[in-house]
Amino acid sequence: MNTIKQVFENNHKNKKGCLIGYITAGDPTPETTLKIADALIYGGVDILELGLPFSDPIADGPTIQAASLRALNAGTTSMRVLEIVKEIKIRHDIPIVIMTYYNSVFRIGIDKFLTSAKVCGVNGFIVPDLPVEEAIDFKKTANNYDLNTIFLVAPSTSNERLTRIVSVSSGFLYLISRFGVTGANTTLEDSTIQLIQRIQLFTAKKIPLAVGFGISQPEHVQKVIKAGADAAIVGSAFINIVQKNINNTTVMLKELETTAKVLKKAAAFGRQ
C-alpha cells in the first residue's frame, strides 16, 4: 500500500512536487464523492484529503462551509466518511488523509474512531482545532495504529513552537500560507514565499512541507514548490467546480480531472 512517506520520496526522487487535493466528503452526495475522487486521482493528485463535514468549521471559508452543509444535508456522517475512504481504497492505491474537527473524534471516542479509520484505509489525520499541547492522547493512539498526525503551523508560529511541532508531526507539516480561513485566491503574496523559505529551514530533511490556504492557480502551485515546499494543497478551487456544476456531474468530473492535471503539471515543473 502506498504511504504518505513513499509518495513524497517517489516525487522527490523524480524531482516533482506533490499535489494534495482536498474535497469535502459527502458533497454533494456520498456517491458523487466517489466519482469526484476518481476524477482527481486520474488527474494526478498524489494525496487525497477528505474533509469530514462539520456544522461549525472555524478554519474554513464560505466555499468549504457550503460544501459541508451540502454534505450534512445529504446525510453524511463521520462513519460514512470512513466507508467512503474504504470504497476509494478498493479502486486506488493512494494515501488518504482525513481533515476533521476534534469534536467529531471526541464524540465517537478516540480509540473507536481511529480503529475504524485504520480498518478503512485512512493514512493520517489533520485536526485543525487540536493544539499540539492537547494532542497527547490522540497522537499516542494514532501512533499505535500507524496513522500519521499532521499538525498545522501559521505565519504567527514562533520558531520555538515551530521546532516543537516539527518534532511531533508525521506524514507532512501543513503550512497555513496566510492569516484567515480557506478560500481560493487570485494572487499569491510575496510574504507567502518568504514564509515558506523560513519554515523550510526547520523542516528540511525532517518532514515534508505542504502549503495550503489560497492555493488555486497553476502559478501558485509552481511558486510554492519552487520556494521550497514539497507539496501544494488545493481545496476551494476543486470545490468551486463541484458547486458550479452540481446539476451536471459529467461536466463536473471532466473539469475536475482537467484542473488536477494542470495543477499537477505545475507542481512537477516547480521542482525542476
Show which residues are catalytic: 49, 60
CA dist 22 and 239 (Å) reads: 8
Instruction: Name the phi and psi angles at 99, rounded to 5.
Output: -100, 120
Cβ atoms 176, 162 nearer than 8 A:
no
Question: Degrees (nearest 5) of the Cα angle 73, 55, 177?
Answer: 120
Name the β-bridge partners of 209. Answer: 173
- The end-to-end CA distance of the chain, in Å, is 27
The cell numbers describing 173, all together, are 507539516
Distance of CA 123 to the CA centre of its chain: 12
CA dist 216 and 139 (Å) reads: 31
Instruction: Name the phi and psi angles at 2, rounded to 5.
Output: -70, 130
Question: Degrees (nearest 5) of the Cα angle 68, 236, 55?
Answer: 20
CA dist 218 and 80 (Å) reads: 33
| Helix, strand or coil, per DSSP, at residue 142 | helix
Cβ atoms 155, 195 nearer than 8 A:
yes
CA dist 251 and 1 (Å) reads: 31
